[in-house]
A and B are shown apart, each in its own frame.
Chain A
Amino acid sequence: MFEQIKEFICNYVEVDADAITSESRFIEDLGFNSYDFMSMLGEIEQELDVQVNEDDIMKLATVGDAVKYFETLKK
Chain B
Amino acid sequence: MNKALNRTLQDLVRLAAEEYGSKTFIREKAGKDISERSFADLYSDSRRIASYIAEKFGGERIHAAVIGPTSYAYLAAYFGTVINGCVTVPLDAQLACEDICELMTRADVSAFFYDKRYEPMIEAVRAACPEIKAFICLQECEACDTTLGDITAKYPEAELKQLDGSMLASIVYTSGTTGKAKGVMLAHGNLIDNVNCQDNESSPEDVLLTVLPIHHVYCFTCDILLSLRYGATVCVNDSMMRITMNLKLFQPTIILLVPMIAETIYKQIMGAAKAKQLPPAAVARSVFGENLKGIFSGGAYLAPELVNGYLELGIPIAQGYGMTECSPRISTASFDDISTKGDVGKIVNGCDVKIVDGEIVVHSGSVMQGYYKYPEATAEALDSDGWLHTGDLGYVGDDRRLFITGRKKNLIILSNGENVSPEELENKFAAVDLAAEVLVYAEDGVITAEVFPNADECSDLAEAGAKLNEIIKEINLTLPSSKTIRRLRVRDREFDKTPSRKIKRAQEHKGNIV
B-binding residues in A (CB < 8 A):
11-12, 27-28, 33-36, 38-39, 41-43, 45-46, 52, 54-55, 57-58
Contacts and interface: CB of A to CB of B under 8 A. Distances in A.
B245 interface: yes
26 contacts: A11-B271, A12-B268, A28-B487, A33-B260, A33-B416, A34-B240, A34-B481, A34-B482, A35-B240, A35-B264, A35-B416, A36-B268, A38-B239, A38-B240, A39-B243, A39-B244, A39-B268, A42-B239, A42-B240, A42-B241, A42-B244, A42-B245, A43-B244, A45-B241, A45-B242, A57-B241
B416 A42 contact: no
Given A28-B486, A34-B481, A52 B264 contact: no
Contacts of A46: 245
Contacts of B242: 42, 45
Contact of B264 (A39, A41, A58): A39
B117 interface: yes
Interface of B: 117, 239-245, 260-261, 264, 267-268, 271, 415-416, 445-446, 481-482, 486-487
A33 B264 contact: yes
Nearest to A13: B267
B241 A33 contact: no
A9 to B, nearest CB: 13
A58 B239 contact: no
Contacts of A58: 481
A28 B46 CA distance: 45
Given A34-B482, A35-B240, A42-B242, A55 B445 contact: no
Contacts of A54: 239, 241
Nearest to B473: A61
A28 to B, nearest CB: 6
Contacts of A38: 239-241
Contacts of A45: 241-242
Nearest to A41: B241
Contacts of B268: 12, 36, 39
Nearest to A12: B268
Given A33-B416, A35-B416, 14 more contacts: A11-B271, A12-B268, A27-B486, A33-B260, A34-B416, A36-B264, A38-B239, A39-B264, A42-B239, A43-B244, A52-B241, A54-B239, A55-B117, A58-B481
Nearest to B241: A42
A28 B486 CA distance: 6
Contacts, number: 51
Across the A-B interface, the 3 shortest Cβ-Cβ residue pairs: A42-B241, A38-B240, A36-B264
A16 to B, nearest CB: 16
A35 B243 CA distance: 10
Contacts of A39: 240-241, 243-244, 264, 268
Contacts of A41: 241
B239 A35 contact: no
Contacts of B260: 33-35
Nearest to B272: A11
A62 B267 CA distance: 23
B183 to A, nearest CB: 26
B485 to A, nearest CB: 10
A11 B270 CA distance: 11
A28 B245 CA distance: 27
A36 B117 CA distance: 24
Contacts of A57: 241
A38 B268 CA distance: 13
Contacts of B445: 33
Contacts of B239: 38, 42, 54
B444 to A, nearest CB: 9
A35 B212 CA distance: 12
A11 B416 CA distance: 21
Contacts of B117: 55
Contact of A35 (B245, B261, B446, B487): B261
Contacts of B244: 39, 42-43
Contacts of B243: 39, 42
A41 B241 CA distance: 6
A38 B240 CA distance: 6
A27 B264 CA distance: 14
A16 B363 CA distance: 52
B249 to A, nearest CB: 12
Contacts of B264: 33, 35-36, 39
A17 to B, nearest CB: 15
A58 B477 CA distance: 9
A4 to B, nearest CB: 17
A12 B267 CA distance: 9
Q: Which of A28, A33, A36, A55 has the most CB of B within 10 A?
A: A33
A54 B117 CA distance: 11
A41 B242 CA distance: 9
A24 B241 CA distance: 21
A42 B264 CA distance: 14
A38 B244 CA distance: 11
A58 B487 CA distance: 17
A33 B242 CA distance: 16
A8 B487 CA distance: 24
Nearest to A38: B240
Contacts of B271: 11
